[in-house]
Amino acid sequence: MNTTHSLVIFALFCAANSLWARNISADLGNWKIIYDTKTSSFAYEHQGRIVLSNSQPEASCRIAGKTIEFHSADFDKVDLEKKNDTVCFILSQKKDDFIEKTVSFSLYEDALLTRLTLTANKDFSSNYLAPINITTTQQIEGSECRMLKVPFDNDDFVRYHYFRLDTTMLSYEVTAIFDGASRHGVIIGSVDHDHWKSGIEVKGENGNTVSKLKAYSGVSTKETRDILPHGSLYGKEISSATFLIAEVNDWRDGMELFASTCNSRQPGRDTWQGGTPIGWQSWGVMATKNNFNVDMEVADFYAETLRKAGFAGENNLQIMSIDAWDNLNDSERRRLTNHCAEQGQIAGIYRSPFCLWWGSENDLKKKLFDGCTYTAQECVLKANNKPIKYDGAFCLDPTHPAVKEKMTREMEEARQQGFRYVKVDFICDGIIQADHYYNPKVRTAVEAYNEGMAHFAAQCYCTDGTPMFIALSIAPIFPYQYGNSRRIACDTWGKINHSEYAMNAICGGWWTNGFYQRNDPDHIVLVGNDKVKETEGENRARLTTGIASGMLLLADNYDLNDNKTGCGDPMLSYERAALLLCNKEINDLAKKVKHSFRPVFGYRPFDGKAQSADNFIVYKDGQDTFLAIINFADKTLEGTIPFNSIELSGTCSIKELWTGNEQERQTTALPYSVPAKDARIYHLKQTQ
């Protein structure tokens, strides 16, 4: 981390009544932290502007059998110390109580980092620390003020929300409070994820006022999938997560700064060298009726037909991801992986390491697996002494040695069968708070998840020693270091409403590319199993979400000889593939994209609802700008986009890639027209 200065403030939280008559401040680059000794509150000033004020950090703990809550307080003494690049404000009081509160600040690039620490002379526990706690009104300048709600995970069809400042929201790990018109905003988010689930609670009023803002570690809600309160850390010193505070001219840049700050502290998994992942995924249309013959036919169709049209990744690589319910035996899996390898493809397999797909609690009396010394009852997570079941599966303890052995065996099997890619599903089951864990040092769900996922990721390598591609599916956003990709949303098929759902996740979460190599748009279905088939326009829309995410695994049935399963419409899928997957400029763009498109606006949902997607996303590559527009409505979407909205100036040539139509050169704005339930991708190239 590029820390250039650091400031540490120590404070004993006791009940004194003395007041100081002056404020105390310290400078950190373009930031100034001001401590008001009368109210025991902090203000954060950036380049001469107050960003946040009247923050009174708070916490609670259990010590010597009693609960103590810490709020603002007064102190007897303040000492100012400076040593090298450290400035310390030591606030203390002589009293028998022994809890000390530390609020620390440091500088990362042009963002402030802060955390709260409690210290005592004997062991204590805590599951709530809030380094930022503001209960006085803060005015937000702008005509289109918004606050971004980030979901904890991607399960249960959750969405990102762009709320107006007229309600209360709880965002997980990070939020942006910004004016959509000017893009000016403030980013607040936790940048380490070793112990805590963290939240940012914001209450807005009158459209441009924040009356409450709290950033804290220790969040536990239905949205985090928890039944119990957050687990408590234990010891003589306990710290919250470190939170970033950034004031930025463009909130989108701020979200990317947040992601890069996270990645600087804990690098993501960046082992994939194969460019844009392009290929096939068996679950979408085939699902439980997948079979060996279909897998082989699809692999051949991709290798012999689609690859020639340019529908492949770097070095013509294609991925054949075989999902759950593959209906393959060991011999068929080996034949499939060998066949794929012979024609420049890699095959993928499915795993759910924290799930036990058994029916009832009576089944838990059985051993976890053949030869295991533990019963399943001993290996599952429990809340209030009852086995936790989520998404249809019993949740396994990520720290249990038998669970780890099960992971090791399953990945050894996959490795020996020749798989080089693994889809990892339902790992939210491993980050639910439990009564206790096999590892007694683990006290929180995040700690357990980190232990289990670190073990699992260590098993994901091929027979030649190279790392497998790990594709996280139903998963929390954080911690992120165990996957090359993560699915951006829950199950997403091919109709226009599914494209809208995917687009919501792109517009709200594109920035997760700062620590995931790829954002996964889920299986892309052109022709599904419904009687009413997807239109060509809906196909273009869904493919556009894949291109905009940076990953394209289609999920149709392309086996023309399949007369048994009744899945999809292979002939129609062939026709759509010939029409849409053989477009050279579209395929070239798919290969070019190294990170997700980002929203142009972020405050203009297509139907005016806070949880809906915007229509416009943009990707820049040197002098090339690609503007994707998806129309979710039943009528044509048309208008103009000013060049300054997409950071362009001067004269630009314009070509629409889906149709191949070229427009007259423009100097100030892009005229666009998108048919109902369809998409367009405009390539703008500056010519002067």
Q: Which of 592, 618, 652 is the last residue of a domain?
A: 592
Relative to beta strand 552-554, strand 278-281 is: parallel
d(Cα 78, Cα 57) in Å, to the nearest integer? 18
Question: What local confidence, expressed as pLDDT, does residue 82 receive?
Answer: 59
CA 64 to the chain's CA centroid: 39
Average pLDDT over residues 254-260: 98
Q: Is residue 92 over pLDDT 90?
A: no
Question: What local confidence, expressed as pLDDT, does residue 93 receive?
Answer: 43
User: Is 677 inside a domain boundary?
Assistant: no
Cα-Cα-Cα-Cα dihedral sign, residues 459, 463, 465, 470: negative
d(Cα 466, Cα 351) in Å, to the nearest integer? 19
Question: What local confidence, expressed as pLDDT, does residue 87 receive?
Answer: 52
206 and 243: one domain? yes
357 and 434: one domain? yes
The DSSP secondary structure of 369-411, one letter per residue, reads STT-SSBHHHHB-EETTEE-EETTEEEB-TT-HHHHHHHHHHH
User: Is 643 inside a domain boundary?
Assistant: no
User: Is 687 inside a domain boundary?
Assistant: no
Query: In degrees to the nearest 10, what's the CA dihedral of 664, 670, 674, 680?
Result: 80
Task: Give the burial class of 132: count Cβ atoms within 10 A of its Cβ; 0-12 exposed, 13-18 middle, 19 or more buried.
Answer: buried
Q: What is the pLDDT of residues 380-407, one digit of tens each?
A: 999 999 999 999 999 999 999 999 999 9
61 and 172: one domain? yes
d(Cα 336, Cα 389) in Å, to the nearest integer? 34
Cα-Cα-Cα-Cα dihedral sign, residues 207, 213, 215, 218: negative
Q: Which of 238, 265, 292 is the last residue of a domain?
A: 265
* Better pLDDT: 93 or 422: 422
Count the Cβ atoms, other than its own, within 10 Å of residue 564. 11
d(Cα 643, Cα 648) in Å, to the nearest integer? 5
CATH of the domain at 478: 3.20.20.70
Q: What is the pLDDT of residues 344-375, one digit of tens each?
A: 999 999 999 999 999 999 999 999 999 999 99
Average pLDDT over residues 132-145: 94
Question: What local confidence, expressed as pLDDT, does residue 17 receive?
Answer: 29
User: Is 579 inside a domain boundary?
Assistant: yes
CATH of the domain at 152: 2.70.98
Q: What is the identity of the amino acid at 317? A: L
Which three-class secondary structure state does DSSP give residue 572?
A: helix
d(Cα 606, Cα 629) in Å, to the nearest integer? 11
Closest by CA to 427, choosing from 454, 459, 408, 409, is 454
Under 8 Å between Cβ of 277 and 524: no
535 and 409: one domain? yes
Total of domains in the chain: 2
Rg of the chain over Cα atoms, rounded to whole angstroms, equals 27
Question: What local confidence, expressed as pLDDT, does residue 555 receive?
Answer: 98
Question: What local confidence, expressed as pLDDT, does residue 29 receive?
Answer: 86
The DSSP secondary structure of 111-161, one letter per residue, reads EEEEEEEEEEEEEEEEEEEEEEEE-S-EE--SSSEEEEEPPSBS-TT---E
User: Is 671 inside a domain boundary?
Assistant: no
Average pLDDT in the chain: 92
d(Cα 262, Cα 240) in Å, to the nearest integer? 15
516 and 564: one domain? yes
Q: Which of 544, 571, 592 is the last residue of a domain?
A: 592
Average pLDDT over residues 431-441: 98
* Better pLDDT: 2 or 457: 457
Cis peptide before 479 (omega within 30 of 0): yes
Q: What is the pLDDT of residues 278-320, one digit of tens each?
A: 999 999 999 999 999 999 999 999 999 999 999 999 999 999 9
461 and 412: one domain? yes
Where residue 634 falls among pLDDT bands split at 50, 70, 90?
very high
Where residue 98 falls among pLDDT bands split at 50, 70, 90?
low
User: Is 631 inside a domain boundary?
Assistant: no
Q: What is the pLDDT of residues 147-167, one digit of tens each?
A: 999 999 999 999 999 999 999
Average pLDDT over residues 5-34: 56
- Half-sphere exposure of residue 311: CA atoms within 13 angstroms, side-chain side: 23
Task: Return the minimum-mean-pLDDT range out of 3-7, 162-166, 450-454, 651-655.
Answer: 3-7
User: Is 604 inside a domain boundary?
Assistant: no
398 and 365: one domain? yes
d(Cα 129, Cα 217) in Å, to the nearest integer? 5
Closest by CA to 192, choosing from 448, 474, 447, 427, is 447
459 and 310: one domain? yes
Q: How far is CA 210 from CA 137, 177, 205, 244, 564, in A?
A: 6, 9, 6, 18, 60
User: Is 381 inside a domain boundary?
Assistant: yes
210 and 299: one domain? no
Where residue 215 falls among pLDDT bands split at 50, 70, 90?
very high
The end-to-end CA distance of the chain, in Å, is 39
d(Cα 338, Cα 334) in Å, to the nearest integer? 6
357 and 223: one domain? no
Where residue 80 falls among pLDDT bands split at 50, 70, 90?
low
Range of the domain at 254: 3-265
393 and 489: one domain? yes
366 and 468: one domain? yes
Question: What local confidence, expressed as pLDDT, does residue 8 receive?
Answer: 40
Percentage with pLDDT > 70 across the chain: 92
Provide the whole-model pTM.
0.95
Average pLDDT over residues 244-273: 98
Average pLDDT over residues 446-453: 98
Question: What local confidence, expressed as pLDDT, does residue 293 receive?
Answer: 97
d(Cα 352, Cα 398) in Å, to the nearest integer? 12
DSSP conformation class of 646 = G
